[in-house]
Structure 1
Amino acid sequence: MNAHDTSIDLTAYFARIGYSGPAHPPATLDTLRALHLLHPQAIPFENLDVLLGRPVKLDLASIQRKLVTSRRGGYCYEHNLLLRSVLQTLGFRVRSFAGRVLWGRDAPDMPARTHMLLLVDLDEGTYLTDVGFGGMVLSAPLAFEAGLEQITPHGAFRLEDIGGEPRSYVLQAHVNGHWAPVYRFDLDPQYDADYEMANHFVSTYPQSVFVHNLLAARLAPGVRYGLFNRRLHVHHTHDEHAGSEQRDLASVADLRRVLESEIGIRLPEELDAALSRLP
């Protein structure tokens, strides 16, 4: 695979996520659901390259080499550009958009568009498709229908139509008995150049949350794993009695073990110094 390769290796991708269906499955809702469930359980969310001062490359060859061949993870642009290429190769009609992250945010000002999401148009309708949102990543596509509570394998979500010009929507997650905003977006089409610019911002701007903090996450059946710096969050989505647990990781060895086991990353070299600097 050369640096300018624009083709997707479906066989390698299917092996990476554990998909055992047809070699070239049909562009149906069932196929979309199957890929959407498997992808975030196999390929983690992580920002280790940013912590190491390495560039995050968004060409398809680099994304495949990192997320598929090297068994690493990435953040939204890498995940959703990879899935977009897979879906387009299978014959899906895919559109690309950008969101403003609201999750965990208290500030009243409007954040920049720093998240990538997809809409997939099927005979059954349009579906929000997004495998790149860290600890609150979707494990199923959502019907693009405002106000409808939709149950996924990892919790309930809904879309709120908030109007405006251009017309905007908020993805919400049902957490601890109430609806919490995840991100806001409109239907202004985004192009690869837009993602390149946003990627440069989030990976290099000194105040970006990715530059000085460790963020990593992965789904497993019935479980969400999320790591922020030295704190591991484990949320059991199928057992309300188990709920959530938190654990602080005091040593670099503990961090490495969690990144390799619960998060599922084949760790890059020269990582220990960056981990030791985490707050």
Structure 2
Amino acid sequence: MQYKKRIVIDNVAKVLFKSTGLLVLALLGGIFFMLLYNSLSFFFKVSPLDFITGMEWNPTAPTPVYGLLPLIASTTLVSFGAMLIAIPLGIGTAAFISEYASPKLKAFLKPAIEMLAAVPSVVIGFLGIVLLGPHIAEMSNLPNGLNALNGAILLAIMALPTIITISEDAINSVPQTYREASYGLGASQWQTLRKVTIPAASPGIIAAIMLGLGRAIGETMTVLMATGNAAIFPKGFFDSVKTITATIAIEMGEVPYQTTHYYALFAIAIVLFFMTLIANLTGEYFINKFRKFHAV
């Protein structure tokens, strides 16, 4: 009797968990097809090539122009700048916590870093306006500091918890025998970390970087507040920029329903969907590679 009861419970649990997994896939597929359906209404009126390669985004002009390239360039510039800051800081912090920090310091740092991920993006953006922006403006002799550099620094702060946490787990997962073999050959702790531990943990670290990049690309409120929102092709980090996420957030609430402008926002949303999907799939690929490496 007990055996049959356990079988029934196991079967119910299996169906329940399978249903929740399929529901998540269905939701993701529904979002994609909703974006695709509305995007097609836009591409019936505007050439996809003109849309992707256009150098100007001005849908409210007397003759509306829907050029995505400045938005893609702005999003790429801010995200790339964020990674330039976050990658060395994140990997360095993860290596310090894993290899050098005392147990007491580690017990303090890990929750503190995880708490950083809980700070609302609007708070980060506000700090960028009132604290970081004036310093950037003074340093660059500009009227304000709302530019790509401001957004990149703030996105780096937001990506750090993801990069640090996953990188630290990857470094901790490197077998201790690797370190002992290196020490046995006369290598120092720094040489072992640089030549043995980090290369062995590289799939996990790359996964952390890609997931952090996906976090930066998809962020909305912070870049909306701190980058100036100028839909021009950026020439450098001191230019005001307008990212894809900020464009959708600003314009969707005011655009007339079922107009070309309305459908254009779905078109740029599906581009953003693919950008974040590629970043996350790349991260997932390296995570799986990392797991297989340590399962051997």
TM-score (norm 2): 0.23
Larger relative contact order (CA 8 Å, sep ≥ 6): 2
Q: Which structure has the bigger radius of gyration?
A: 2
Larger helix percent: 2
Give the structure with the higher percent strand. 1
TM-score (norm 1): 0.24
